[in-house]
Structure formats: structure tokens, C-alpha cells
Structure 1
Amino acid sequence: MNARRMYASCVDEDGIEAEGIDTILSFVNTELGGWPILQGSTWNNATFNFSRILLKLNEYWSSFDFLGYLREFYLLANITLLDTDIVTVSELEYLRNVSLIINQQSSLTLQNYMVWRFMMSQASNMPKHFRTIRQQFDKVFQGINTEPSRAIVCGEYVNNIMGFAVAKLYINEYFDQNARNQVSKTIADLQLFLIF
């Protein structure tokens, strides 16, 4: 994907309004097992699998280490991991408490929570009505009174997804050729140093 195109589509509020939320709700239903709060009694509790939803979210949004979270979660349950698995536990007490809370919840509550968190993380890409709901939530729970400008939101979004491409565009635009050559040489020297 092209960073400029991604940014342009992000700031295209008319396009966002026209697209609506059908695409994201379809994704929730087909990939994440549905959203019980919307489906009511038609949501199938028997198909709920907490591990599967975490893995699915990791597959599509790897910026959050869902797999690492899952490994830590299993470690607390005394499930032996292979030596090749990497698990980082910095707050063991916190993870124990989270595990206790998760184990005490119904699958309906867990599914609603996971999908709600996913939808909240995607609200900035949704029509204005949903961004307003997110802004009201942020105001109550975080004291944030205003929504940042669309240009700032989209700049951060594109930078989070395509940071290296954005940096390259910036460097090509604002650094002279000599400075770019010096940076390239420094990077090559660092790579050589780190390899040995």
C-alpha cells in the first residue's frame, strides 16, 4: 500500500461516510465470531474460543503482541512452552489478576469485551457518528475534551502502519543528497557492527 494513498483515504471523510460500517461488522461476524451485544440470542456461545480470537486479532493487527499475551496467559496456567517460545513477564502479579478475572467471566462477556476493544481501536477510521461516540468515551474516561484534527489522526495512523515509508518520503523531501549518503553510510556501519 502507498503511504500517500493511505493518508488520502484516511482524510476522505465523504468516502468514510459512504463506506459506513458494513465492512468492519462483516469482519467481526466472519473473522471474530460475531458481537453478542448486536446479535443477542442468535450469538452461538458454543463456538466461542478465547485463544482463537486473540490469535485472529494478532493475525490482522500485529502491532499489539496478542501472541505474546497469549503465551504469558498460558504460562500462568502452568502450560509448558517450548524453549523456542519467547515469553516476557514484567508484571507477574498483574497477569495473575487478569487471568483470574478472565477465568471468572462468561464467554459472552469476554466476546463482547474483545470485540468492543477492537471496535474502539478502529473508531477513528469509522464515520463521524462513531468517532463522536469514541470522543465522548475519551472525555469521560480520560478527560480528553476534543478530537484531534483529521490530518493529525491520519498522519499518526499512517506513521504507525508505514513509519519507514513515511520517514523515507520525509528524508527524500527535506534532506540533501550529502546528508542522505551520510545516513546511509552510518546505517551500513551499524549493521556491520551489529552482525559481528
Structure 2
Amino acid sequence: MNNPWPGLSQQASLLAGVVYLGLALYPLFTRGRRHEPRSPWLRGATAVLLLLVGVTFMTIMEGDLDETWSLFEHLLTPLAVLVDWVAVGRNQADARWWHPLTWVVFPLAYLLYFLAASVSLYGGFLDPDDSDFIVTVLVFLVAVVATGYLLYGIAKLKGAIAPQSHPVQGYPVYQPHGYRR
């Protein structure tokens, strides 16, 4: 592997690292008043992107996880981000119905980079010179939006069935920060 950075997998893993470092440091930025941002948008966009990476690598590309870097990049990181969305974050139920439509921003940004930099990866299934290129891109966009709505549904279900927290003396009950409708 000469230069790994043109690949979506590497860029997505780097983005996930930056996002989760920011989430880990977030309480410091708010002096402990908040443990995570009010909006789950960035967390959802990151989850959709990493699921795109993992699922595409494992299915369309018939990827091999024998190398440690590949295992982390294509399986463990996407799974960690998915587990974070489903079980760790506390504000996912605040996702708005239109968030999944905007979570395509990272894959679209990569697509623009892919086209501008003439990246030649992916074994020909994503070839701008192929007559099916536009169809392939549209299918991926629909899949990303569908994945986003699946995550949105999981978040709403989690919010609906989450038990109410009982206050510990001196600490307030956690109440999700909903948007005014």
C-alpha cells in the first residue's frame, strides 16, 4: 500500500478519531455542565459514514480482515461507532427527521475529493469513466440515507423505551434536550 490517505476508510477513521476525541473532551469545554452536545447530528453522520465504510468493504469489495489495520479500520471502528450510537450516547432521541438526509455530507465530500483528485481505488466498482457511475453513486446515496433512517429509528425507539433515571442525591435526573416542535 503506497499512500493510504486517498481511501475513504482511512479518512473516515481519522474523522472518527477526531470526532470522538472532541466528544471525550466536550465536558471540559462546557466546564462539566454538559456531557455531550445538544444535537446528535455529528455522532449520527459519523456512524453513517463508518457503516458505509465497513459494509462496503465487507460486501462489495469482499475485504480481507487478516491485517490488523484492516480489522480496526473496516470492522472494529465501525462497530464501535455503531455501539456508541445505540448504547452510549444519551441524546440520539433528539435527532430530527431531516438529520439522515444531511448525514450524506461526509460521503458526498469524499466523492468530490475522489473526483477532483482522480483517486483510482476500489477495484473499478467506483469508476467515473464507467457508464454506470452515476447509478452507482445514487445507489450509495440512497443506501446512506436508508442507513441514516435506520439509525434514526433505533434512536427514537431507544428514547421511547429508555427507563426514567432515578436521581442520586445531589444529582439531577437526566432529561434529554428535545427541540421545540
TM-score category (smaller protein): under 0.3
Task: Work out which of the two has the higher radius of gyration on C-alpha atoms and give 1 or 2.
Answer: 1
Q: 1 or 2, which has the higher helix percentage? A: 1
Give the TM-score taking structure 1 as reference length: 0.25
